[in-house]
Amino acid sequence: MNSTARLAPDARLVLLSPHLDDAVWSLGGAVPAWRRDREVTIVTLCDGDAEPAVAARLTEPAHRWRAFGGVAARRDEDARAAAMLGCARIGLGHRDAALRASPDCEFECPAPDALFAAPGGAGAPTVPDALEARLRALLRPDDQVIAPLGFGGHVDHCIAHLLARRLPHTVAYYAEFPYYAPAHAATLAEQVRALGLAAMPVALECDWPAWVDASLCYRSQVIRLFGGRARFIDALSAYAGDTPRCLIWSTR
């Protein structure tokens, strides 16, 4: 793995998104500037449909927390957001951690707390071989990748981070909205050091209106997580800072 703040203008930029919103919510403001001189592709890892037996259980009171909205509808939201920003979108079809289960329908994460781990240390999740193979198959040798740091500890974000670190490509990182906010800068710096990344935050030019418009394409999650547009925009504004910027973590 290489890390660099210098993004070669001719290389495709691949934004790894654990779920159907993470890359646009965290980096959407930087995409218009990137698109001036490069191809940008969002690769969403966890956009696979639940197995029918799992889907049938999501209405049970004990499992309603697993329902984040219809996956097909959320894929449509992701496609609209990517199109609005002028970039391609590819889904790898892996299932969200809340929906993963054994053939006899035993859930991988039995309770909400089990959705959270850490990208480093003994408790780090395992990167599925099939997921890694699917990602490697679509990457070009000169692609440059921006991947999540796993801030907040969601297991799928940790898997995306660990997967990126296995790649031979140039990789930079982003701290995920809504888990990260500027008030968490010291905590994140400690995490970056613990992960062994000699990386520093780099502020990127940001198109705030385009960021907001693309982010609001994820209507199901804006309503589910924030209760509506106003609270979502307030939270995204706090993430972006007084002078809106997108941040990537990279060596200089």
Range of the domain at 127: 13-250
Residue 170 belongs to some domain of the structure: yes
Number of folded domains that form the chain: 1
pLDDT at 6 over 70: no
pLDDT digit string, tens, across residues 116-148? 988 877 778 999 999 999 999 999 999 999 999
User: The domain spanning residue 47 has which CATH number?
Assistant: 3.40.50.10320
pLDDT digit string, tens, across residues 96-124? 998 999 888 889 998 889 899 888 777 78
> Which of 176, 169, 181, 133 is CA-nearest to residue 154?
176
- Give burial (CB, 10 Å; 0-12/13-18/19+) of 88: middle
146/160 Cα distance (integer angstroms)? 10
pLDDT digit string, tens, across residues 24-50? 999 999 999 999 999 999 999 999 999
156/150 Cα distance (integer angstroms)? 8
55/249 Cα distance (integer angstroms)? 37
Residues in Cβ contact with 127 at an 8 Å cutoff, skipping those fewer than 6 apart: 159, 162, 163, 166
pLDDT digit string, tens, across residues 179-193? 999 999 999 999 999
Residue 66 belongs to some domain of the structure: yes
Rounded to two decimals, the pTM is: 0.93
Residue 5 belongs to some domain of the structure: no
Residue 166 belongs to some domain of the structure: yes
pLDDT at residue number 29: 98
